């Protein structure tokens, strides 16, 4: 299967012509597990392609990038770690981002659910950052890598839910439409290849 170098989809369903970046009321920082970088099914890059000022940092348990640490210490930002609520860190949970003049930032742990839990639990440099849980009734429509729990959204779906949560409907719609093109295009080619007879 030949893939587009831009969107990494099969060339026959390339979505690069719809790849445009829009401003948003917040920023997204993706803390990405190294195994996710080259997976064509990773949806974190859809946020990079769609939402202005999105940044990507490679996750490390013990050696976080200096760029990430500098960004976390930058007083222009008010970062929040995106993760489901839990009893043992209830004191860190917040319902919304600060309303002051700083730039709101959502840090999304970009990996499988198992990887994200490990990243959340074992990264000391994240332990003092407030945690926010996306408030949404959405069920995942992502069909390429299924979770056993419907409320476990993929990375792009999490970003859409957060944009809706801060009232940024335009950016949420833009990202969701791009995600839908990605999802439906990939599914169509998978079905096509699955239906081919071996030569």
Distance CA 155, CA 167 (A): 19
In a domain, 17, yes or no: no
**Total structural domains in the chain?**
1
In a domain, 158, yes or no: yes
pTM of the model: 0.87
Contact 128, 157 (CB under 8 A): no
In a domain, 62, yes or no: yes
In a domain, 198, yes or no: no
Q: Would you give per-residue pLDDT tens digits along the chain (199 residues)?
A: 688 888 888 888 899 999 999 999 999 999 999 999 888 889 999 999 999 999 999 999 999 999 999 999 999 999 999 999 999 999 999 988 777 889 999 999 999 989 999 999 999 999 999 999 988 876 555 444 444 444 568 899 999 999 999 999 999 999 999 999 998 887 777 665 554 544 3
**192 is written with which tokens?**
């096509």
Q: What is the CATH number of the domain that holds 116?
A: 3.40.1280
> In terms of residue numbers, what domain contains 128?
23-135+152-190
Contact 92, 84 (CB under 8 A): no
In a domain, 6, yes or no: no
In a domain, 196, yes or no: no
DSSP 76: T
């Amino acid at each position: 299967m030949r893939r587009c170098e831009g969107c990494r989809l099969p060339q026959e369903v390339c979505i690069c012509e719809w790849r445009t970046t829009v401003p948003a009321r917040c920023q997204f920082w993706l803390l990405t597990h190294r195994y996710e970088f080259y997976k064509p099914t990773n949806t974190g890059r859809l946020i990079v392609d769609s939402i202005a000022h999105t940044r990507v940092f490679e996750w490390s348990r013990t050696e976080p990038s200096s760029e990430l640490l500098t960004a976390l210490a930058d007083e222009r930002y008010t970062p929040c770690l995106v993760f489901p609520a839990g009893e043992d860190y209830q004191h860190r949970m917040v319902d919304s981002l600060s309303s002051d003049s700083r730039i709101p930032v959502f840090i999304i742990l970009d990996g499988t659910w198992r990887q994200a839990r490990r990243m959340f639990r074992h990264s000391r440099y994240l332990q003092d950052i407030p945690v926010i849980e996306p408030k949404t009734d959405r069920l995942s429509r992502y069909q390429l890598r299924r979770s056993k729990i419907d409320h476990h959204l993929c990375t792009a779906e999490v970003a859409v839910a957060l944009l809706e949560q801060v009232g940024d409907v335009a950016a949420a719609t833009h990202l969701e439409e791009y995600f839908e093109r990605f999802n439906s295009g990939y599914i169509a080619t998978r079905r096509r290849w699955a239906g081919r007879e071996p030569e």
